[in-house]
Amino acid sequence: MAFRTLVVGTDFSAEAELAIQHATHIAKTMHGSVTLVHAGTIVDLPSASDELRAAMFSGLYANYVQEVREQLAAAQSRVEDDGVTARQYFVGGVADTALPRVATELGADLVAVGGCEHRGVKRALFGGVAERVVRLSRMSVLVAREPAPRPGYHRVLVPVEFTPDADAALASAELLAAPGATVEVVHFWEPPSPGRYAPGTSHRAAVADLLAASIRYAVRRAGRGLVERRQRVDLDLCFRDVRGSPGRGIPERAAEDVDLVILGGRRRGGGLRRALSKSVTEAVVRRTPCSVLVM
């Protein structure tokens, strides 16, 4: 999937600057444009009957608006200096609701926000914003961490569940990966409890081994088929299976040498399967040290 209309949330922090870098790189790669959005306080001025209070307040507010406009203009210039068309918006509200709203109004393909590696209050505030933007957005969301690699992402991790979402995630990986990059397709799996199939304790170990071997065989066969259909000479596309939960396994694998994780589509609707998908997505966004693209 190509991303040509990108919205970036910025509070002018170092984390937001990373989101701008990633969005600029993606827009340049895909011949797209970037819209910079700052969500802040837009208020009505006090009544003119209280002249002194109105004058003081209007002066402070004018300075605040001017500072925001100047910072947005500077960020826009940096994007345009990279050869990407850019514009800016200063909107009222809080970032986690304002960004999805503006992105929807603009018909955006992608929203980019900064992640946060800090702990404590800053992590609770800024990390939580990224997670809520992922939850509320109807389009893909990039949570940016670490500087954007150039000329593209060199080590991309694509967890799959062998659904149609896998092809869409892989297509995006191919568009974003640098020439010669490694795209690692991985499936995390856990066998069902052997107690369902072998109530007697004496057979549980053997049944567990048989179940694991059967699942591993099916997973590897499906994985090889998925990778073989998309092989390209300019990419190292490989598949591996990992026994374990994706919520824990993806961040652990990403901490090694990955610069982008691409998660397949989030399930809409209700039910246990959607709840599990949502919890895994939020866990990965929260814990993964590199950038995460949620399709």
Give me the chain's average pLDDT, please: 85
pLDDT tens-digit series, residues 246-269: 999 999 999 988 999 999 865 544
Longest dimension (CA), the chain: 87
pLDDT of 128 reads 80
Extents of the domains making up the chain: 1-147, 149-295
- 190 or 13, which is more confident? 13
CATH architecture of the domain covering 149-295:
3-Layer(aba) Sandwich (3.40)
262 with 158: CB under 8 angstroms? yes
Instruction: State pLDDT tens for residues 159-173.
Output: 998 887 888 889 999
Q: Which region, left, alpha or beta, applies to residue 269 given φ > 0 means left and ψ of -120 to 50 means alpha? A: left
Coil, helix or strand for 156? strand
* CATH topology identical between 1-147 and 149-295: yes
**CA nearest to 142, candidates 59, 27, 279, 12:** 27
Q: What is the CATH number of domain 1-147?
A: 3.40.50.620
Distances (CA, A) of 109 to 1, 105, 176, 261, 269: 9, 11, 14, 18, 21
Band the pLDDT of 192: cuts 50, 70, 90: confident
- Please give the structure tokens belonging to residue 129: 């914003």
272 confidence band (pLDDT: 50, 70, 90)? very low
Q: Are strands 33-40 and 110-114 parallel, antiparallel or unpaired?
A: unpaired
